[in-house]
A and B are shown apart, each in its own frame.
Chain A
Amino acid sequence: MSYEKRVARLQEIVANLEGDGVPLDDALKLFEEGIEILRLASDELTTAEGRVQLLIERVEGVFETRPIDD
């Protein structure tokens, strides 16, 4: 899941929990899901290291990326 999709899901969970219609059991499940997403999103920001790559198309539709020294 992309970072933005994760954040969007997290916002959806918060909105659900803030609403009135969620049974406590479901709310706990949502909360746990939210915590997990929070962890993944946070990891993505802090542990992932961005790379710089050159895109090469071997034949049409067949791609390769090669690191560029920066």
Chain B
Amino acid sequence: MRRSYRTSTPRAAVESDLFGSSAATRAVAPVTPGSTPETAIPVASITETARAVIEGSFSPLWVRGEVSDFKRHRNGHWYFCLRDASAQVRCVVWSRSQRGIPTSPDEGMEVTAYGQLTVYAARGEMHLNVTAMDAVGDGLWRKAMEETRLRLDRDGLLAAARKRALPYAPTRVGMVTSPDGAALRDVISVIRRRAPHVSIVVSAATVQGVNAPAEIVAAIQRICRFGEIDVLIVGRGGGGREDLWAFNDEAVARAIAGATVPVISGVGHEIDITIADLVADHRAATPSAAAEAAVPLRSDLLAGLRGLGDELSSSLNELAMRARARLENGAASLKRAAEIDAERRRAAIGATAGQLNALSPLATLARGYAVARAVDDRRTLSSIRDFNAGALFTLTVRDGEILARATESA
């Protein structure tokens, strides 16, 4: 710092400002402005000169210190002090500079801030105009992730119950990624190898840089509107923390949660866990792993089909066997029923025959009685008035019938 503070170029510039615009004037009247009450200089001159000196002496640099008096102004700018045991410097982060900073620092947080040291004329204060910042041990990034995680959790988007099951045999896999990236190449090669019948539909997005979150959100929504996919992979290949940062973006997370098909996240390498991973229905460690999770081996599917074919045949066979058994059972019981019926009828006939026998006049005849009947109409002649003298009649006895004549009436 001291070295650059002593560079001579800014001082020459400052002198030409303070001592007038022309070297010729300086030579004629070598009066130092501000050296007497008469030559007192306006406040704005000194702050402006101080600003020029400081900005000229310091190139933008990283400063380490502890955050205190952090204030978020309602105009969106952040104000705070960076201090250590013996010194402090005021800092400002204009709202437009905050895009590159994961989140605001906490009070007392040990941070490194990158910025231009300058003078704020309205207050006559020196401050660091901060454009990038991080905390020790990635503290700000972790804090930002944690804040996003909490907001998503509050809305229930991280609940295990929300996780949808992946289709077991998709035929179209969607992928949101950069069409030129390594992730897509990996996914294609895994799917070609495991399930060459599966198609891949790519919805393109820039996956790093300030536009990445918005593009990823748009790409997810676009492919969901398209609709003709069974499962969606969202991801990119490995990179630095900042390269993967879009996948920690809250809007990206909400787009994943709102997808119309199950989503598999595959971001970076094994060790990288992003907010997208927490919201996705399935977290894969890498894009290749995402592809493996998305599609089953074709050979397994074919084996499954063969199994179903076998079941189909055997179920029909069994059905036919059962039908035959039923038919045979039916025939047997029909025969049994007929036999029982015939037996019952035989028994009934026997009983009736006995009754008939008991009632039959033949039994009476067997005991020696005879029945007289008219020859013509075979009516029974049971009274003497039924007989005319000399008339023929029949007489039925135990073993036959004889013709008889009445000789005289009684």
For residues 8 through 49 of chain A, which have their beta carbon under 8 Å from a beta carbon of chain B?
A: 10-11, 13-14, 17-18, 20, 22, 24, 27-28, 31, 34-35, 38, 41-42, 44-46, 48-49
Size range of the interface on B?
A: 35 or more
- Contact in complex: A13, B312 (CB < 8 Å): yes
Among B169, B200, B323, the residue within 8 A (CB) of A4 is: B169
Report how far A24 CA is from B319 CA in the complex, Å: 8
Determine the distance from Cα of A15 to Cα of B374 in the docked complex, in whole angstroms: 82
How far is it, in angstroms, between the C-alpha of A45 and the C-alpha of B303 when the chains are bound? 11
Check if B199 sits within 8 Å of A17, measured CB to CB.
no
| CB closest residue in chain A, given B318 | A18
Q: CB distance B202 to A53 under 8 Å?
A: yes
B203 at the interface (CB under 8 A from A): yes
Could you tell me if B316 and A17 are in contact, using CB atoms closer than 8 angstroms?
yes
B197 CB to closest chain A CB (Å) equals 4
Residue in B167, B171, B309, B312 whose Cβ sees the most chain A Cβ within 10 Å:
B312
Residues of B close to A65: CB separation below 8 A: 201
Q: From B197, B200, B222, B226, give the contact of A45 (CB < 8 A).
A: B197
Contact B179 A54 (CB under 8 A): yes
In the assembled complex, how far is the CB of residue A25 from the closest CB belonging to chain B, in whole angstroms?
A: 11
Q: Is B301's CB under 8 angstroms from A54's CB?
A: no
Q: Would you call the interface of chain B mostly helix, strand, loop, or mixed?
A: helix
The answer to whether B226 and A63 touch across the interface, beta carbons within 8 angstroms, is yes
- Shortest C-beta distance, B393 to chain A (Å), equals 72
State A70–B196 Cα separation when bound (angstroms). 13
Binding site for A on B (CB under 8 A): 167-169, 171, 174, 179, 185, 188, 191-192, 195-204, 222-223, 225-226, 230, 298, 301-302, 304-305, 308-309, 311-312, 315-316, 318-320, 322-323
* A38-B305, A41-B305, A44-B171 given; 20 more Cβ-contact pairs under 8 Å: A2-B171, A2-B230, A3-B171, A4-B168, A10-B308, A27-B316, A38-B312, A42-B305, A45-B301, A46-B302, A50-B199, A51-B200, A52-B200, A52-B202, A53-B200, A54-B179, A55-B201, A55-B203, A61-B225, A68-B179
Sorted nearest first, the 3 A-B pairs with minimum C-beta distance are A17-B315, A48-B197, A50-B199
